[in-house]
Amino acid sequence: MKLAIFDCDGTLVDGQASICEAMEAAFAAADLPAPDRHTIRRIVGLSLPQALRMLAPDASEDQHAIALETYKHAFRTSRINGTLEEPLFDGMAELIERLTDAGWSLAVATGKSDRGLTSCLAAHGLIDRFVSLQTADRHPSKPDPAMLEAALIEAGATPDEAVMIGDTTFDIVMARAAGVRAIGVDWGYHSPEELLAEGAEAVATSCEHLEQLMQ
């Protein structure tokens, strides 16, 4: 068994524009000053409630509730309207095909919702490539290891047979907590230096490099 568990936003797809736009709408609806986009990108990967608590620690519960619902509504609307931007990173579709052909089982562990992840993967024709999809709907936020533990059980793999691939320190810390190898990617939202400092064994600079590091 070889199990590769991917983060989604910042690793498989580049959803930063849509995430930032939805977060800005959420903060406006809650009458809160919007964080700058660099700050928003820093929390990508966390579950939405956790992200809002980090971005607006002094906001009231009512404001958090308004922001949360507005964010979800903004994403649903953009998805229905066909304006949601979540392109695959260069080379990712081909990498997934090569890994599948080489006998890897694939999974996802993400701060997205079930609906958001399913829609994203289906739009790229990849939904059938993954044996396990773990989201924030059913687990505590990263870096809690619950998502990885569930993916291992669902895939029938042990921690030493798996590797977590992600772009944030949340992914790396989660992997370490689950006893799983962690490889970072440099095309996401946290720097390679941060990923290595948290315990990533290496940081990939391209999909081809990532494939080499996974061997």
Q: Which residues contact 179 (CB under 8 A, 6 or more apart)?
A: 159, 160
Q: What is the DSSP string of 36-54?
A: PHHHHHHTBTB-HHHHHHH
CA pair distance 192, 19, nearest whole angstrom: 22
State pLDDT tens for residues 27-45.
999 999 999 999 999 999 9
State pLDDT tens for residues 5-25.
999 999 999 999 999 999 999
CA pair distance 150, 212, nearest whole angstrom: 26
Question: Could you give the residue range(s) of every CATH 1.10.150 domain in the chain?
Answer: 16-81
State pLDDT tens for residues 74-111.
988 998 898 899 999 999 999 999 999 999 999 999 99
Question: Could you give the residue range(s) of every CATH 3.40.50.1000 domain in the chain?
Answer: 3-14+86-213
| CATH assignment, 16-81 | 1.10.150
Angle between helices 61-81 and 16-29 (to 10 degrees): 140
The CATH class, in words, for 3-14+86-213 is alpha beta
pLDDT of 53 reads 95
pLDDT of 1 reads 82
What residues are labeled active site?
Answer: 7, 9
